[in-house]
Structures are given as C-alpha cells and as structure tokens.
Amino acid sequence: MALAGGVGAGKFLRGLVRVVPPEALTVIVNTGDDIVLHGLHVSPDLDSVTYWLGGVGGRARETFRATDELRAFGAEGSWFGLGDMDLATHLFRTRLLAEGRTLSGATSTLAARFGVTAHLLPMSDDPVATHVEVSDDAGAAFDLHFQEYWVRRGGRDEVKAVRFDGIELARPAPGVVEAIEGADAVLLCPSNPIVSIDPILAVPRIGEAVAARRGRAAGVSPIVGGSPLRGMADKLLPVAGVEVSAAGVASYYAGRGLIGGWVIDGVDQGQAGRVRAMGIRVTVTDTIMVDDDAAERLARTALDTALGDQP
Amino acid sequence: MALAGGVGAGKFLRGLVRVVPPEALTVIVNTGDDIVLHGLHVSPDLDSVTYWLGGVGGRARETFRATDELRAFGAEGSWFGLGDMDLATHLFRTRLLAEGRTLSGATSTLAARFGVTAHLLPMSDDPVATHVEVSDDAGAAFDLHFQEYWVRRGGRDEVKAVRFDGIELARPAPGVVEAIEGADAVLLCPSNPIVSIDPILAVPRIGEAVAARRGRAAGVSPIVGGSPLRGMADKLLPVAGVEVSAAGVASYYAGRGLIGGWVIDGVDQGQAGRVRAMGIRVTVTDTIMVDDDAAERLARTALDTALGDQP
C-alpha cells in the first residue's frame, strides 16, 4: 500500500500498478488540501491520483471556461482555477456527499468511473483542513487555508507554522488502518512531507500503524539535488526544522520511526552514508519519472527497498 | 414592463430596450422551468433573458465539456446539457442562494454582472415547478417535471395536463405587482402561453394585476402561420383547449380579460377580423425577429398596440 499526495504520487503510482496488481494495491490519499469552492467539495490530491491512475493525468486538453466566467463575475473562490472537465468531478462528488455518501464512498465511485481498480481511500472521511500561519511583508501574522497560501497567494508569505484543523477528531477512513496492518509493503510516495504525507500520518492511529510496519516501509525522496521536483517542500521543510535534502527528509521520517528504507536520486548519492547511519536501507537510483517506464523502475526499486529486510 | 419566458422573449426584449430606456423597464420572468441539477439551481428562462439582454444570447461559443464528463460518469440529471460558461452562472447563483440571498437578489446580481440595466425579476422567490401529466405509448399515466418532458424525453409523450406545483403558496417577488400596477404598458412577450406566460399569471395576485391593466396590455403572438417559432406550444396549447393559431392564443388571453391589444404576423392577417371581434386592438406586422432591428420594430409596434387606447 502507499501513502500519497498529488501529482508526484500520481506519477509514481502509475509505475506501481505495473509492478503489483492494482486490485491488490491500496492508496491512502491526503485530504488536508480539500477545500469547498463555489459550494463544491474539491479534493485536489484524490483527484490527482485518480486522474493519473485513470490515464487522464495532467488533463492536457483541459479548459477553464467556467472559471473564467466566475472570475468575470468576481465570484468568491475563483482564484482557484477549476477546469471544465474537472468541474464535473467536483459536481459529481458534491452530489454524492449531499446524498449522504461518505468521502470514501464517493472516492470509490469516482475511481471506478475513471477505470481505476486500485483501492483509493481518503485518509479520513472527516474534514481536515491544512492551514498555515504566515506573516506578511509588514510582519503581521495571519492564518490561511493551504490553498489560499499556495494557489491564491502563490506561496509568497513566510510560513511560521502548519497545522491540520480537525485532525484530533478525524478517524481513519474505513479500511485505512487494516490496509497498513495487512500490507506486504508500505510506500511513502515522493510527495511533500509537510503538507501531503504528514496530514495522513497525523490522523489518529495512522502514524502509529505505519510505525508498527517500519520494517516493511520505505519512501522515495521528493527532494532531488536539494530542491523539490514540484511544489513548495523547500519552503515548508524548514518550518518543521527539516533540511531541504534527500537525507533531511529521510531523517524527518526515520526520526519518528516510520521507515526502514529510503530511495534517493543518483545526484544525491553523496548523502547515502548519512542516511545509512540512521539505520535505514538506502537505494540510489534515477528517481526522475520522465515516463511510465521510469516510474515502473522506480516503483520496483521502492518496493524492493521496503522489503529488503524480509526473508 | 413585460412578462417573459425564454429565447423568444429574450430576442424581443433586445428590441424593447432600444425603444424604452432599459432602466425604466421591468421584466417579470417565468421560473416554473427552474430545476435543480447536480445540486445547482438552474433558471433557464431567467438566464435566457439575462444572456440575450447581456449580448451573449445563444452562447455561440459555448462548450459542454463538464456535461460530457458528467454523462460519462452516468450522473443523475446529465440528460440536461449545461454549457461550461453557463455552469458558472448556476454555480454563482447557487452560492448566492446558499448564502441566504433570494432568487430576486441573485437575479439582480447576475444581471448586473452581464451589464443588464433593465430590472429582471423572477415571478416569485418561492419555488414553483411546472409539471406535465403524460401518458406513455402503452397508455400509462405519469408525471414529469417540465424539463424531463421537454429536454430529457424530447416532448414525445402525449400531455394530458399541465400544473404548476407550489403555485398556491408562491408570492409574487418583491416589486412584481408594483411594476404591473405602475407600468405605462404591459407586454406579453412572444413566449409559450402555457408553460412560460401562464405560470407567471398563475402566481397569486399577478394575473389579477395584469387583468386590471388590460387597457394598456398587449401581447405578441408566439404562433405564426399555425405553428410556434420555437418550442412546443403546438403540443401544449391543445391541452388547454386552445387553437394553435394567432387568433387562438389571442382568444386564450382575451377570454381571461388580460389583453387589450394583440400583434400578429402578416401571414396571419386573415385572422385579424376574428381577433377584433373579441374587442381586441390588432396590429398586423412582421413578427419574425431576424435581427435586433426587426426586434426593435416589433417592440415599438407592440408598445403602440398596448397604448392604442390611451390619450
């Protein structure tokens, strides 16, 4: 099974379903980024994973005609660009939720519509919202929903702290803990540690369940050559006191007893020794997923790294 | 002021705002066709009038990518094609309603966004739903929302009766009765008498207010040469016992004391005598609105016909 954020996870998982039968794979996805826009429940990470596994990742032919109109109206929330095809997903999910389905149920229905046979689970059916505490140019502190920080304000504010609103009351979605406990291997996708993987781990019982499986758990570094392949990990890792490097992230996970293995890119092979010194198996490989073949090789390596200690 | 349905009204009103200052014009629009689709409040007639007056009538460059996706999902309600730009309107209105605005308030906000300075009012802020009772090929009777009858089933069922659910409890939207009472002229747009104009007239107090102004009220026949220019009036007029002709519709309105004047097309001039025999002023003119100039001429004629008895 795998813990996943958005696009980086989606690309990695396209490789993973070539290595293991998708029906045997459970993916637990971050929902801390979820946001209600125009009355619609938007789940960016669930959708990224669904779209990538469904073969429509990146939505190359997406258009933004509805969003353009909403912007012309001055509609609240229209700073977030929802594609026209993407809107259908949000409308469909929001209807299912309004009819009383859980987010898990809606996720599974949507995944089936995109032909995804891997089991996609939100980390929780309960609402969790990632917020960042920032200070503006004048030093005044204020609070932003993660999407406001990242999408609306382009990540320009200095982040003082990250928190997951609602996390104490959130329960793991049905099947999440069981999937971790019963998995042959637990993989941490190359997603943002602070705002993609940490919210999942912070749901009561999930972090503990992963730690209990650390001997079969491995992660793929989202940091290559000292910077993230995408996203804003370089801005957020320092907030948690984490060095922006492959070894820094390994240390961040290993320090909490979450992983037994770590996959880093060839450009970072100089850091392999530091990671091994943490008592972690390290594999050095090409982690840049230029295509599904590369993703498949990376997924196989990650799986081997997770299972390295197993007989 | 004018009573309006959808597209036919929209084209006519484009002419009318060239004849009278738009700020001085109030348009009362049918909401019996309104329907909730994908959780969104869709008001087809209000939108038609807004779009036509706003200069985007017909939405020539509209696309249906979200609807295509929803159809692929098998989403309930996706038999109704919502355009991508159009979706923005429904999302925006639905948000305004969810925030506690009335349909009048949302209509006025949307109209302003489209640069419409005429006062558009829904007939009521209360929900009214036009339903038809039909019988299928096997003779079994069942009930359909008007949009299901017309859009989903392509008007193929034999209609036994039309009713406006909720009409007894519906109150005229604020300003509606006052607009009729204070108007220089009351115009019935060339809209479907049964499912566009009748729902408006059936709202308690509105029909009575129009009848009280019949000396200044005139309509434009939606029937030209024995058939409707658009829509399904030919299927629905007989349900109300109305002859599908310019004179038939005149009789339908005049029999309820609603109009003092009636505008018919040149091809129907043979029916002018029948209408005059009802005690109604008749003007024969070209009623086909090929462009805004034609709509303007027709609107001027309708206004003159409404005011024909006035000193």
* CATH of region A28-122: 1.10.8.240
Nearest Cα residue to A221 out of A181, A173, A253: A253
pLDDT band for A230, please (50, 70, 90 cuts): confident
**pLDDT score for A136:** 76
Q: Could you tell me how far CA A234 lies from the centroid of its own chain?
A: 16
Assign B74 a pLDDT band (cuts: 50, 70, 90).
Answer: very high
Q: In chain B, what percentage of residues exceed pLDDT 90?
A: 89
pLDDT (mean) for A210-221: 97
Distance from CA of A86 to the nearest CA of B (A): 7
* Per-residue pLDDT at A309: 62
What tokens does B270 get? Answer: 């043979």
The per-residue pLDDT for B142 is: 93
Choice between B57 and B23, residue whose per-residue pLDDT is larger:
B23
Testing the interface with B: which of A40, A42, A87 to mutate, by most B Cβ within 10 A?
A87
CA angle A27, A230, A245 (to 5 degrees): 95
User: Cα(A3)–Cα(A211) distance, rounded to whole angstroms?
Assistant: 13
More reliable by pLDDT, A246 or A138: A246
Question: What is the reported pLDDT for A310?
Answer: 65
B65 Cβ under 8 Å from any chain A Cβ = yes
Q: In terms of pTM, does the model score above 0.90?
A: yes
Q: Is B66 near chain A, with CB under 8 Å?
A: yes
Residue of B nearest to A36 (CA): B95
Q: What is the mean pLDDT of residues B199-225?
A: 97
* ipTM metric: 0.90
Half-sphere exposure for B94 (CA within 13 Å, toward CB) = 21
Chain A residues within an 8 Å CB radius of B92: 38, 70, 73, 75
Residue B95 to residue A39, Cβ atoms within 8 A: yes
The pairing of strands B227-228 and B26-29 is unpaired
CA-nearest residue to B36 within chain A is A95
Terminus-to-terminus CA distance in chain B, angstroms?
19
A176-306: in CATH 3.40.50.1000? no
DSSP category for residue A260: S
> Residue range A231-252: average pLDDT?
92
Q: Which residue of A69, A76, A89 is the best one to mutate when testing the B interface, meaning the one whose CB has the most B CBs within 10 A?
A: A69
The confidence band for B235, taking pLDDT boundaries of 50, 70 and 90, is confident
**According to the per-residue pLDDT averaged within each range, which of A150-159, B145-154, B162-171 is highest?**
B162-171
Q: Which residues of B touch A55 (CB under 8 A)?
A: none
Nearest-Cα distance to chain B for A52, in Å, is: 16
Residue A241's alpha-carbon distances to A167, A235, A249, B89, in angstroms, are 21, 11, 10, 46
List where CATH 1.10.8.240 sits in chain A: 28-122
Distance CA B50, CA B118 (A): 9
Q: pLDDT band at B310, cuts 50/70/90?
A: low
Contacts of B63 in chain A (CB under 8 A): 63, 65, 84
Q: What pLDDT is attached to residue A140?
A: 86
Beta-strand pair A186-188/B40-42 = unpaired
Confidence (pLDDT) at A308: 87
For residues B95 and A235, which has the higher predicted lDDT (pLDDT)?
B95
User: In the predicted model, what is the mean pLDDT of residues A269-277?
Assistant: 97
- Which residues of chain A lie closer than 8 angstroms to B84, CB-CB? 63, 65-66, 84, 87
In A205-224, the residues whose Cβ lies within 8 Å of chain B are none
Q: Quote the mean pLDDT of chain B.
A: 95
pLDDT band, very low/low/confident/very high, at B94 (cuts 50, 70, 90): very high
Q: Which CATH number fits domain B2-60+86-122: 1.10.8.240, 1.10.3720.10, 1.10.238.10, 1.10.510.10?
A: 1.10.8.240
Q: How many residues are recorded in chain B?
A: 311
Question: What stretch(es) of chain A map to CATH 3.40.50.10680?
Answer: 176-306
| pLDDT at residue number B75 | 96
Query: Looking at the predicted structure, is the pLDDT value of residue A311 above 70?
Result: no
- Rg (C-alpha) for chain B, rounded Å, is 19
Report which DSSP code applies to B124.
Answer: B
Q: B112 CB near a chain A CB, below 8 Å? A: no
Alpha carbons B219 and B185: distance in angstroms, whole number: 11
The 3-state DSSP class for residue B156 equals coil
Q: Give the pLDDT score at B138.
A: 80
Least confident of A124-128, A292-296, A307-311: A307-311
| pLDDT > 70 fraction of chain A, expressed in percent and rounded | 99
> Where is pLDDT greater, at A137 or A163?
A163
- Indicate the length of chain A as a whole number: 311
Beta bridge partners of A238: none
How is residue B148 annotated by DSSP? Answer: I
CB distance B84–A72 less than 8 Å? no
CB contact under 8 A, A70 and B84: no
pLDDT in tens, A73-94: 999 999 999 999 999 999 999 9
- Interface probe for B, chosen from A65, A80, A86 (most Cβ of B below 10 Å), is A65
Task: Provide the pLDDT confidence category of residue B234 given band limits of 50, 70 and 90.
Answer: confident
Q: Which of A261, A266, A85, A121 is nearest to A188 (CA)?
A: A261
Q: Among B11, B38, B6, which residue's Cα sits nearest to residue B295?
A: B11
pLDDT at A147: 95
Give the tokens for residue B161.
Answer: 């009766």
Whether the per-residue pLDDT at B58 is higher than 70: the answer is: yes
Which residues have CB under 8 Å from A311's CB, separation 6+? none
Which of chain B's residues have a Cβ under 8 Å away from the Cβ of A92? 38, 70, 73, 75
